[in-house]
Structure 1
Amino acid sequence: MASPASNDQALGARARVQDAFAQAPVRFRLEFTHDRRSRELRWVLFAGTQRGSVGKLVFTLERDGAAHIKSLAVNAEYRGLGLARVLCLACLSSLRELAVSQLVLEAEEDTKRHGKLVGLYESWGFRQKPDEKVLFLYNDTQCFRKVPMALPCGDGAFLPVQPSAAGATWFFMLTLQTADGACLVASEDGAIAARKQAKSSPESLWQTLLGADGEIFLRSTHGKFLCVEESGHILADRQRNSTWETFQVVPHQQSAGAGGVALRDFHGNYLSIDPEQQAVVSSRDPVPWDGGDMMALVCNKPGAAPLFFKILRKLQTRAFVTQQVAAYGSCQHAALSVADACSWLARLNGDAGARDSWVIKYMLATAEAVRADGHPDWLQLAVFLRALGMLFLCWSDEDNAALRSISAREWLTQNTTWVVGQAIPDSVGFPELNALNSDHNDGAKSASGAAAAAAAAAVGIDSVTLPWTPDEYLFRVLEFNKASMPAEALQAIRFWSLRAWYVHGSYDALCAPQDFEVKEWLQSLVPYATRSDDALQHVQPDALMPYYLALADKYLPAVLQW
């Protein structure tokens, strides 16, 4: 049986740009319609956060070969994001195939804000029509002027290419900047610079199109895509988004304390803003970008928390865990022996086989350390099996796709959990991220967390709900398959990452008397959690695997339901 993960990216190899933000920015998409009765053509803007459109551009085709913009509007809450310009670029993309000579409109602006709207359209390339009158409209004390403007669409005019499958392409509006506010901006000729801009400046906003596999394409306010050439030269003059215009979003994992994502170009280098030169450069080493305020993606943001901590803190709520248990708790995805499961796990981690797999060597090294200290064989097996909990990510979906951004090393050596449904203790680490978790916020504001704690205390720590992690999944798989291992083995797997309890004592109020014995021997397992790279290099899977497969035969069915 072939692994479903064999053709996917390895764990931790890709990320989603929205996961770098504390609150994901709003997604948008465009849709084109042509009402032949009214002869109106429309580009309609939708947001992922609400039903119905949030903006539209309506235009008609005139007999003189021109196109006339009848209406251009964006809902008030989405103004200032450069979306009107995106609609205009979409309109321009339609003119190529329609053989339109010029695009015309009337800029209707309040005379108290003289030149503001006209100036905006002029920055888009429109010019006031010299042979037509400006009309003035009066409404009580208000006065508006209506300025006829036109944008030539001759042979020399730039007409952006309409993105393929426009109705299915989601995008964000983002700024890319340094911590001190220098923004990535593009001029009309494609030249790139990093300079300080007003937050509301449309020049600093990039239409960030999302690819099918999480890659992004950055489109400037001039309708051209950011490109990194083979030489490393960066510019934004490309009409189409193809190979050199592609940026893969990857977790920034160069150091344990690094946060955010890195933007890898087609040539394997990384997009960066040099703060000293105020220049946009291509770096050989990964450079972190992390979410800032609003829509800002910040290069080398100080104090950024690791991406996987941010993902887990946002995602792991009681509602999410309930959903995941419903999806995976019935163990209907595959039937695998432990040997087959190890092969699947190696592929999930991007390895061709067990012999050179970091994750398989980690499983064996930790189990061997437990074995060397004379612990019973059921505990050796439990420690060996623990990494197999990552197999649920072979069948990930849109709801838990962000969990694939977490590497096997992070899952196994750095993951730390808490009891969901109530406030998260500071001992979990990076307590500044706790506010991202809705359960934490609700538990801190109400007595429901205390009530849940009191109810749980009556039956002990086994009754709590933990985050949906590989440990929790494997615990449920072994229970479902009626493993004959002692209860302590399953507790070791389930509570392995709950260090907030057995190291820091955060949940003692939830414990029944017998739980304190469990807590004590869980503390004795702490040294086995990490193995040095040097120790892993000396592990020989071919020699050790038969012993642990024999233990699996002793305590588990020959084939497990996953």
Structure 2
Amino acid sequence: MAQQPSLDALVALGARANLVDAFVQDPARFRLEFTNDQKSKELRWVLFSASKRGAIGKIIFTLEKDATAHVKSIVINKEWRGYGLARILYHACLSTLKELGIIELHLEAEEDTKRHGKLVGLYETWGFQEKQGAKVLFLYNDTECFRKVPMVLPFYTRTFFPVQPSSSKSNSWFCMLTLKTSDGTCLMASEDGAIEARKEKSNPESLWQTLLGANGEIFLRSVHGKFLCVEESGNILADRQLNSTWETFQVVPHNSDASRSAEEADSPSLTKTSAGGIALKNFHGSYLCIDHDKNRVVSSKTPVPWDGGDIMSLVCNKSDSKPLFTKIMRKYQTSSFVKKQLVKYGDFQHASLSIADACKLVMRLNGDDEAAGSWVLKYMLASAQAVRDDGHPDWLQLAVFLRGLGMLFLCWTDEDNEVLRSVSAHEWLVKSSTWVVGVSIPDCVGYPELNELNSDHCNSIKSNGSTQMQSGMDGVVLPWTPDEYLFRVLEFNKSTLPTEALHAIRFWSLKAWHEHDQYDELCAPHDFETREWLHSLGMYASVSDDAMKNIVPDKLMPHYLSLAEKYLPAVLQW
């Protein structure tokens, strides 16, 4: 039996995002796994990549007498060198050895004599030193010569030891990212935890181990194994051994309409806003930012946009950033994805709700407690009132009002479609522009450079875009959106709304069809008349601020609830 869902554990729509969705091309992701081979007596930290089967790197070490240990090898596959991954393995090794009570670590730096001192110098930056009086071995292979330099790391010389992150397990994923501005100013940390912003060219020291939390949060760990922290005063340091509250950055969709603060007015580089990207919100409610004009890292009171650069960089105030929700829609809304949603939601057994209860639930879904302050409810009423004021029939008034309730499917998301919760109510109801799934995406949908993210689009281009001609718009597959879900809810519950009302709901966001005259080849003869009628409704999508201010939900709701009684069952299955 369907029951009203509990939203206690849900966060408002558009309040969280996933870091990887900010990138056009998914950033490289890695994870560590520890093994202890009792037979060989070798301990290993093994590095894996999300994009490749098998290990891409490992550190092998053994426990020796007198509380010492020996690193037998550190290996990173060639294509992944230069990204600071060897040091990640080294930190994992140190944390294990410290827990085991080791007091000294040994290794041999084996390097080509043509690159004399390079590997030895690297290990020296890690804290190792050449063993006094130890013999350096020289190995010859034809014309090549290698030297083997014994090195040692006495633990008593170290005041800091990295530990395994408190919120992660051996199978947790992380990225290696440079945090920078478009001009190459990078977020850097010194060993004592001091933070600065300076220009760097391909320097592994500028890479941050970016741990990906379960709920969209990230933790930034410097090459020195210390976490970035924003203190209550706003001071920023990278000196923390553990990742906890002050070391947490929540990834949120960037809101370009955020008001400017006095802090921004004093710094031109902070006033530059962007239509897209994400913001990095710290525990105290402010946002991480690189002020490249003053070469400093600051905590801004208002959201500052970051967007994906290449697979290893996150760029602050990127000039050509794209809206996060557009990237999400373009990447995920494929034929395969939509089919899964039809199966998941097609039985309409998630809840039994009246329209009044559905309105309360959609308010809660958007983090609203009171109707008078609910943006989504006031938008539903304001857009419907505009239709009503222009003398349209009551069934169209109701259809426009109901659109917001389509978002209720987001109460019952899972790992497969949870990404859609990163899209806000405003983006779903006002900004969304959809297309016919399974064929190439028209440029008029917006941001055509993102079409390559959509596998259907790419496959259609390769196959010369062959489609079924004149099959009729009723038979097309559309992206899985609140409009599509609501259309199917109303069909399933056998509403008495006319077909025109259902068309208005389903095709509302298909602007490529009714505003830009695409898909003629898919239309049946009667679809052209429908398209012309839908085009006339476009004016009702945008609601002015003044109109929203004048909406009093308690006064208007009785009218729309009475229309619901006229055309809909008392209780609907959702």
In the aligned structure 1, how far is the partner of 2:507 from the partner of 2:274? Answer: 24
Distance 2:341 2:123 in 1: 49
Q: Which residue of structure 1 aligns with residue 231 of structure 2? A: 229
- Residue 520, structure 1, aligned to residue 537, structure 2: no
**Worse-superposed segment, 185-194 or 111-120:** 111-120
**CA distances 1:313-364 after superposition (whole Å, capped 9, x unpaired):** 1111222212222222222222222111111100110101333211011111
Partner of 2:159: 157
1:313 matched residue in structure 2: 330
TM-score normalised over the length of structure 1: 0.96
Q: Deviations over 1:87-119 (max 9, x none)?
A: 110111112221111111111122222222222
CA deviations over 1:36-87 (Å, ceiling 9, x no partner): 2322211122222233322221111100211111121122332222111111
Report what 2:136 is aligned to.
134
Structure 2 residue matching 1:534: 3-state secondary structure: helix
Per-residue deviation, 1:446: 2.1
Note the alpha carbon deviations across 1:522-554, whole angstroms, 9 max, x for none: 011111111112211221222222221222222
Q: Per the alignment, in what secondary structure is the counterpart of residue 201 of structure 2?
A: coil
TM-aligned CA deviation for residue 34 of structure 1? 1.8
Partner of 1:502: 514
CA contact (8 A) 2:14 2:425 kept: yes
| 1:172 is the counterpart of 2:175 | yes
Paired AA for residue 493 in structure 2 = N
**Cα RMSD (Å) of the superposition?**
1.6
The residue identity in structure 2 corresponding to 1:441 is C
Aligned partners of 1:462, 1:115: CA distance in 2, in Å? 71
Deviations 1:262-300 (A, max 9, x none): 111111111111111111111112110000122110000
For the 8 Å contact 2:472–2:523, the answer to whether it is kept is: yes
Match of 1:475 in 2: 487
Query: Following the alignment from structure 1 to structure 2, what is the Cα–Cα distance between the partners of residues 513 and 87?
Result: 65
- For the 8 Å contact 1:6–1:348, the answer to whether it is kept is no
Asked whether the 8 Å contact 1:60–1:68 carries over to 2, the reply is: yes
Residue matched to 2:502: 490
For 1:9, give the aligned amino acid: V
Amino acid of the structure 2 residue aligned with 1:33:
T
Trace 1:370-409 onto structure 2 (pairs within 5 A).
Answer: 370-409=387-426
Residue 435 (str. 1) matches residue 452 (str. 2) = yes
Q: Which residue of 2 aligns with 1:258?
A: 275
Paired position in structure 2 for 1:49: 51
Report the Cα offset of residue 444 of structure 1: 2.0
Distance in 2 (alpha carbons) for counterparts of 1:130 and 1:322: 67
Say whether the 8 Å CA contact 1:179–1:300 is kept in structure 2.
Answer: yes
Equivalent residues in 2 for 1:69-468, closer than 5 Å: 69-154=71-156, 156-164=158-166, 165-199=168-202, 201-255=203-257, 258-447=275-464, 449=465, 451-452=466-467, 455=468, 457-468=469-480
For 1:505 and 1:275, how far apart are their aligned partners in 2?
Answer: 45
CA contact (8 A) 2:274 2:319 kept: no
Instruction: Report the equivalent of 2:548.
Output: 536
Give the whole-Å Cα distance in 2 for the aligned partners of 1:15 and 1:418: 23
Q: Are 1:227 and 1:237, in contact at CA under 8 Å, matched by a contact in 2?
A: yes
Q: Tell me how far apart the structure 1 counterparts of residues 356 and 171 of structure 2 sit (CA, whole Å).
A: 41
Distance 1:250 1:35 in 2: 42
Alignment match of 1:548 (pick from 555, 560, 563):
560
Secondary structure at 2:53 match in 1: coil
Distance (whole Å) between structure 2 residues aligned to residue 206 and residue 140 of structure 1: 40
Report Cα offsets for 1:203-256 as digits up to 9, x if no partner: 011000112221111000000011111221111111111111111111111339
Q: Equivalent residue of 1:479, what SS? A: helix
Q: Does structure 1 retain, via aligned residues, the 8 Å contact 2:274–2:318?
A: no
Runs of at least 4 residues off by over 6 Å: none
- 1:86 and 1:384 mapped to 2: Cα distance? 54
1:557 equivalenced with 2:569 (yes/no)? yes
Cα offset for 1:171? 0.9
Secondary structure of the corresponding residue to residue 107 of structure 1: strand
Give the whole-Å Cα distance in 2 for the aligned partners of 1:296 and 1:319. Answer: 30
Deviations 1:16-44 (A, max 9, x none): 11111001112212122222232221112
SS in 2 for 1:369: helix
User: SS of the counterpart of 2:150?
Assistant: strand
Name the amino acid aligned to 1:197.
E
Contact residue 25 and residue 310 of structure 2 kept, 8 A: no
For normalisation by structure 2, the TM-score amounts to 0.94
8 Å contact from structure 2 (residues 306, 316) kept in 1: yes
* Partner secondary structure for residue 297 of structure 2: strand
Residue type at the aligned position of 1:503: E
Q: 1:342 touches 1:354 (CA, 8 Å); kept in 2? A: no
Q: Which residue of structure 1 aligns with residue 67 of structure 2?
A: 65
Counterpart of 1:476, as a letter, is: R
Q: How many residues align?
A: 556
Question: Which residue pairs with 1:21 in the alignment?
Answer: 23
Contact 1:59 1:67 in 2 (8 A): yes
Shift of 1:155: 6.8
- Report the Cα distance in structure 1 between the residues aligned to 2:182 and 2:274, rounded to whole angstroms: 18
Residue in 2 that maps onto 1:35: 37
- SS of alignment partner, residue 45 of structure 1: strand
Percent identical pairs in the alignment equals 67
Q: Distance in 2 between matches of 1:526 and 1:44?
A: 56
- Structure 1 window deviating more from structure 2 (294-303 vs 40-49): it is 40-49
Partners of 1:12 and 1:321 lie apart in 2 by 21
Would you say the 8 A contact 1:3–1:347 is kept in 2?
A: no
CA separation in 1, counterparts of 2:32 and 2:329?
A: 31
Structure 2's unaligned 5+ residue stretches are 258-272
Which range moved further: 530-539 or 491-500?
Answer: 530-539
CA displacement 1:114-141 (0-9 Å, x = unmatched): 2222222112111111221111112222
SS of equivalent to 1:421: coil
3-state SS in 1 of match to 2:102: coil
Cα offset for 1:156? 4.2
